Structure 1
Amino acid sequence: MKKLLYGIDFGTTNSALSVFDEEQKEVITTIIIPSLIYFPAGLSSSSASEYVVGERAVEEYLKDGMQGRFIKSVKQILSRSTFSETRIHNRRYNASDLVAIIISELKKRADLLMGQVCQKAVIGRPVFFDDDDQQRDTLAQSRLSKAAELAGLREVRFQFEPIGAAFAYERALKKKERVLVADLGGGTTDFTFLTLDPDRKDRSDRQKDVLATGGIYIGGDSFDSSFMWERGTPYFGKNVQYQGTSGKVLTVPMSLFAHICTWDKMNFFNSLRVRKDIEDYYYFSGNNPKFRNLITLIDNNLGYSLFREIEKTKIALSQTDNARFQYANMGIEIGEDVSLEEYNGIIEKDVRRIDDYLERFLTENAIKKEAIDGLFLTGGSSLVPAVRALFKKKFPQVRLHSGDNFISVAKGLAYSGYLFEH
């Protein structure tokens, strides 16, 4: 049997596992799946699968007419103290249970591929699960540890995700460099400044090479939420006026639409009080069709399918200067052209927050820009043009490098076996 180590990058959007041969000191293969779970609405028999994970979760969810429980962005609930559990098919699932489902799927696929069971892993974690909240960060870490145990992993160490990305990048270096690594994912943006040296890539002690770490709770999901607020919510009643009980013409409160700008928060509308408010606005606005759209969106659980189109628009604008934001489902009709310039304006506040944090990170750690030899970006959100432009403008003297934006962290985590020696 081979002596194996798994590097696991549990992500907001996608999760990846790299299989590392500890004797040959090389990554054998990497598996990547969407971080999605689907619980079918009705199980036809006792032998039916209780849930499906990854690519099949999307397929089955859409095939079933989006009627069951579809769960995404599970990583974001790790730090939420307000989330204790959810009940699905008369069974309670806490945060660790849900995370374990995805990690178990990755492990099962890897074990099957390798023909043996591996119980040793380095699992990635963001620098901060929640901005500057130590209590929530500790909660998230403990939940992730429990999830790893539930998934059947007995020997586990944790590594900051951008450090994992750095170790993957180090394999391509020819000489020693001080590198700023930015890992821009769906939920967080993390930074690490460290010394990378190809002559040290297999050393057992790398702690002194890490000079500074930091992060902010903002990522690709934030961009999607901003886009939904600007371009999506007007189709669901934002800015619509209605006749108040006093006879005055009023505008529907903006707060009503905040919860449809984050897909996983749409359950907010399940409350009877909010549902009644929506129906009242529909009536007193003269049955405005935009409120009919909102009711259709909620009643038919269409949030995920809508946000898929928002993400497609984002991806398209990472490759071209113009894209079409289009959605047609159950009477909801959205279709408008979006330019890259317009999109950049929509996410400007989010990008500025990343910029502001990065400037603070450099200042607090006394990192001079001229001391940075290399810049390495990874994560799906690093493909957004406004993000890349931010780094090019901020570090004009440094060449920008990118690896495989979706598996570089997992590969780097697999190279972090030195953690077991401490």
Structure 2
Amino acid sequence: MSKFLYGIDFGTTNSALSIFDEEKNEITETIIVPSILYFQSEQSPSQPLNYVVGEEAIAAYLSDGMKGRFMKSIKRILPRSSFIETRIHHKKLNASDLVTLILKELKSRADQITGTDCRKAIIGRPVFFDDDNTSKDVLAQKRLSKAAENAGFDEVRFQFEPIGAAFAYEKTISTKEKVLVADLGGGTTDFTYLELDPAKIGNKDRREDIIATGGIYIGGDSFDSAFMWEKGTPYFGKHTMYEAAPGKTLKVPVSLFANICSWEQMNFFNGLKVKNDIQTYYHYSKQDKTFKNLITLIDNNLGYSVFQTIERTKIELSVQTTSKFKYSEMEIEIDENISIETYENVIDKDLLKISRYLDTFLLQHQINPDEINSLFLTGGTSMVLAVKNLFKTRFPNIPLHTGDNFMSVAKGLAYSGYLFNES
């Protein structure tokens, strides 16, 4: 019977699993699932929670009238020490519990294909879960390890995600190269500089080929949050004035709108105190129409549908010069033309942070750009036009390659079986 290994890329936006047949020494299939959970609105206190994962979660969320609990970008809560647990109906779930549900779904789908109960996996992780913060990094990997164990994996190794992407790229080259890999995902941007050599594919130890690794906690979600802040929040009352005292008006606190710009905050933005505060501001704003949109957004769990619109705008602007930021739901009406110049101005601060970090990375590791043979970009955020231009401008004379932006990491992780041979 064949012996299998799973390479798992648990991502902020999508998760992928590559099935590696260790006897045939090849990947047989790769599965992709959106990293989304939905807990139905109707639950029995005496029964386990009903939930669905991935594409089915989106369909169930819509068919359920968006009344249940919808969660995405769960990876971003892994390093958050302030997040202990969340209550969903009658159950309390911690960060590992939530991740477990997605890993279980991936494993179940893969096991159906292989006809086995595969318990061996190499799981990807960003170079830094939350910038260069050791304590948060340790916490995040501990939570991810526990989730893998809960999902049924008892033989687990971890590999940096950009190294996984590099090993996938190595399969496509014919000569030795020094490669700078940039893995731009939903939550992080990670860099790895390493020497790839097709003659070394399958070698048991590749540690000496990895020259430098680094990363920054900025990704596609950061771009979406910036867009929501600049272009979305005015439609939800960011500039609303309320009567704080007779004859004295103030602007409602901006902290309310910071919460709806971040998925890890919006996932848990349903406390009674917050809702009461919002109702008070609404009353003293003389029932401002745009501020009412905020109440509608929260009460009806519309966050995903709004961010889906933002995502669509971002994708369209990767291939064309203008797009419509258009949303119409429950009397919330948005219809605004967005040019590529406007979008790039919105994400400019995050792009600058990535660019500055890249310069620091090269300097810190004494990497001479003239010695880099090629660039390899992967991850969904690498498709953003401004991101591509950043690398083309920074390295004008170096060939830039891209792989399958959603499968490269998982495939490379599946090729990382040598990690089980290390002492």
1:186-228 alpha-carbon deviations (Å, 9 max, x no partner): 0000000000000011111100000000000110000000000
Name the residue aligned to 2:362: 362
- Per the alignment, residue 93 of structure 2 pairs with 93
1:408 alignment partner AA: S
Secondary structure, counterpart of 1:16 in structure 2: strand
Q: Which moved more, 1:197-206 or 1:43-52?
A: 43-52
Q: CA deviation at 1:47?
A: 8.2
Letter in 1 for 2:22: E
AA at the equivalent of 2:206 = R
Q: Spell out, residue by residue over 1:19-63, the C-alpha distance to the aligned partner (whole angstroms, 9 max, x if none).
A: 111122111110000001111010479889711111100000110
Q: C-alpha distance in 2, partners of 1:279/1:204? A: 61
Contact 2:79 2:130 in 1 (8 A): yes
Moved more, 86-95 or 240-249: 240-249
How many percent identity over aligned positions? Answer: 62
How do 1:9-408 and structure 2 match up within 5 A? Answer: 9-43=9-43, 50-266=50-266, 269-408=269-408
Q: Offset at 1:68?
A: 0.9
Tell me by how many angstroms 1:247 deviates.
1.4
C-alpha distance 89-283 of structure 1, shift in aligned 2 (>3 A): closer
8 Å CA contact 1:7, 1:413 repeated in 2: yes
Decide which moves more: 252-261 or 160-169.
252-261
Q: How well do the aligned residues superpose, as a CA RMSD in angstroms? A: 1.6
> Partners in 2 of 1:60 and 1:399 — Cα distance?
44
Contact 1:101/1:151 (8 A) holds in 2: yes
Report the residue type matching 1:20 in the other structure.
Answer: F
The question of whether the paired residues in 2 share the 8 Å contact of 1:263 and 1:307 is answered with: no
Residue 151 of structure 1: how far off its partner (Å): 0.9
The 2-side partners of 1:275 and 1:87 are apart by 17
Q: Answer whether contact 1:259 1:268 (CA < 8 A) is retained.
A: no
**Counterpart Cα distance in 1 of 2:172 and 2:263:** 38
Q: Deviations over 1:92-113 (max 9, x none)?
A: 2111111111111111111101
CA change 1:45–1:87 in 2 (3 A) is closer
SS of residue in 2 equivalent to 1:270:
coil
Query: Displacement of 1:238 after TM fit?
Result: 1.3
Question: 2:43–2:89: 8 Å Cα contact kept in structure 1?
Answer: no
Alpha-carbon distance change, 230 to 44 in structure 1, aligned in 2, over 3 angstroms: same
- Paired with 2:269 and 2:134, the residues of 1 have a C-alpha distance of 31
Alignment partner of 1:381: what SS? helix
One-letter amino acid matched to 2:218: I
Q: Which amino acid aligns with 1:128?
A: F
Following the alignment from structure 2 to structure 1, what is the Cα–Cα distance between the partners of residues 214 and 45? 49
Tell me the distance in 1 between the aligned counterparts of 2:9 and 2:263: 22
Q: Which amino acid aligns with 2:383?
A: L
Cα displacement string for residues 297-333 of structure 1 (whole angstroms, at most 9, x for unaligned residues): 1111111111111111111111111111111111100
Distance 1:276 1:333 in 2: 24
3-state DSSP of counterpart to 1:234: helix
Q: State the alpha-carbon separation in 1 of the partners of residues 172 and 279 from structure 2.
A: 59
Q: How far apart are the structure 2 equivalents of 1:201 and 1:268?
A: 44
Rounded Cα–Cα distance in structure 2 between residues aligned with 1:41 and 1:291: 26
CA displacement at 1:179 relative to structure 2 = 0.3
Amino acid in structure 2 at the alignment position of 1:303 = G
Name structure 2 gaps, 5 residues minimum.
none
- Alpha-carbon spacing, 1:80–1:49, altered in 2? closer, same or farther (3 Å): closer
**Cα distance in 1 between the residues matched to 2:97 and 2:272:** 28
Distance 1:80 1:41, change over 3 A: same
Partner amino acid for 1:176?
K
Structure 1 CA distance for aligned equivalents of residues 247 and 158 of structure 2: 60
Supply the AA of the counterpart residue of 2:124.
Answer: G
Secondary structure of 2:153's match?
coil
Match for residue 421 of structure 2?
Answer: 421
2:72–2:267 CA contact under 8 A, matched in 1: no
Of residues 143-152 and 378-387 in structure 1, the stretch that sits farther from structure 2 once superposed is 143-152
Q: Which amino acid aligns with 1:388?
A: K
Partners of 2:73 and 2:263 within 8 A in 1: no
Q: Give, in angstroms, the shift of residue 244 of structure 1.
A: 3.3
Does the CA-based 8 Å contact 2:6-2:18 persist in structure 1? yes
Which has the larger displacement, 275-284 or 66-75? 275-284
CA distance in 2, matches of 1:312, 1:36: 17
Structure 1 CA distance for aligned equivalents of residues 274 and 101 of structure 2: 32
Q: Aligned residues, how many?
A: 422
Distance (Å, rounded) in 1 between the aligned partners of 2:285 and 2:9? 48
Distance 1:268 1:417, change over 3 A: closer
CA distance in 2 between counterparts of 1:96 and 1:44 reads 23
1 CA distance for matches of 2:396 and 2:134?
Answer: 35
Quick one: distance in 2 between partners of 1:286 and 1:78?
40
Post-superposition offset of 1:242: 3.1
**TM-score with structure 1 setting the length:** 0.97
Q: Unmatched 5+ residue regions in structure 1?
A: none
Q: Find the counterpart in structure 2 of residue 3 from structure 1.
A: 3
Q: Secondary structure at the match of 2:24?
A: coil
Q: Which moved more, 1:40-49 or 1:69-78?
A: 40-49
- With over 3 angstroms needed to count, the CA separation of the structure-2 counterparts of 1:411 and 1:269, relative to structure 1, is closer
CA contact (8 A) 2:71 2:267 kept: no
